[in-house]
A and B are shown apart, each in its own frame.
Chain A
Amino acid sequence: MSACTRELLNHSSIRIRDIIDAIEAELLTQPSHMDRLVLSVCGADLMSDVLAFTKAKTLLLTGLTSVQVVRTAGVVDLAGIVFVRGKRPSQDVIQLAEAEDLPLLVTAYPLYEACGKLYCLGLKGCSELESGGRTGEWLTSGA
């Protein structure tokens, strides 16, 4: 069992290729997406939560493979989507992501384990990012 090596990488320079290494993921979209920056990570199956709580350049880990995940990503400028537990989206979903220039990945790890591995890389959760603002109000209002 390996200990969590959080903050090993500078969190402002983690790219899709680092994500691929960390969770043994496969890139489903164009190879140029390897170089995309990721600033934070969110794990969710509720699209309204993704809309409410993610920041720009957030990587979404989800078990949903519907076209709505790609539409949601477009609305809030996600850095990419990782489908967990080996779930593969349909060709239509991949085509829409290519058209939207959105990286799609698939990993065999379940949601919790994939999130844990990325957390250990030093990637922040959406609530840990410094920039607060309206989308981060939930942190201070209820907690």
Chain B
Amino acid sequence: MADIRGVETLMSVTYDIAARDFVRAGEAANKLKRLLQQLGLDPAVIRRAAIAAYEAEMNVVIHSYGGQMKVDITPETIEILCQDSGPGIPDIEQALQEGYSTASEEIREMGFGAGMGLPNIQRSADQFQIESTVGQGTTLHVTILHEAGE
């Protein structure tokens, strides 16, 4: 199937992400990683996609009221679109700074909430877009190029 830009999508998967479900948190990213491995993609590309997906998934679990992660695999890219409904991010620039976090002590005890989630996603991505509306939610779009490797 081809999208509106005429880009062929080889495969498309969508994962539901439940808010505050810390037992299942990370399942979507692990499923995505296995799928990309089955497709025989470059290990460095798989690693970057899995890290970005995992941090995005954790953000939805920790901060939102729930959301979805849609992943499109095209001949050139892996597109990760992560949308949640939730409180949104009032100051995105601040949220992108390493070490800035609004996570609770409970989250920190699990090893998250150190303010490295969004910077890690940015580091893994070839293209990175984030849009947020306070009181509505946040949308994250990550593009990873197959040919970029590490």
In the docked arrangement, what's the CA distance between A115 and B39, Å? 37
Across the interface, do B47 and A46 meet the contact criterion of CB distance under 8 Å? no
In the docked arrangement, what's the CA distance between A110 and B91, Å? 39
Indicate with 1 or 0, residue by residue over A116-132, a CB within 8 angstroms of chain B CB atoms: 00000000000000010
Chain A, interface residues (CB within 8 Å), range:
20 to 34
Across the interface, do B110 and A75 meet the contact criterion of CB distance under 8 Å? no
Task: Evaluate whether A71 and B54 lie within 8 angstroms (CB atoms) in the complex, with A76-B47, A134-B48, A135-B150 already known.
Answer: yes
Across the interface, do A48 and B116 meet the contact criterion of CB distance under 8 Å? yes
- Which chain B residues have a beta carbon within 8 Å of chain A's beta carbons? 22-23, 25-27, 29-30, 33, 43-44, 47-48, 50-51, 54-55, 109-112, 114, 116-117, 120, 123-124, 149-150
Across the interface, do B111 and A71 meet the contact criterion of CB distance under 8 Å? no
What's the nearest-Cβ distance from chain B to residue A54, in Å?
A: 10
Which residues of chain A have C-beta atoms less than 8 A from B43's C-beta? 56
In the docked arrangement, what's the CA distance between A92 and B24, Å? 12
Indicate with 1 or 0, residue by residue over A78-113, a CB within 8 angstroms of chain B CB atoms: 000000000000001000000010000000000000
Which residue of chain A is the closest to B54 with respect to CB atoms?
A75
Across the interface, do A49 and B50 meet the contact criterion of CB distance under 8 Å? no
Across the interface, do B112 and A47 meet the contact criterion of CB distance under 8 Å? yes
Across the interface, do B33 and A47 meet the contact criterion of CB distance under 8 Å? no
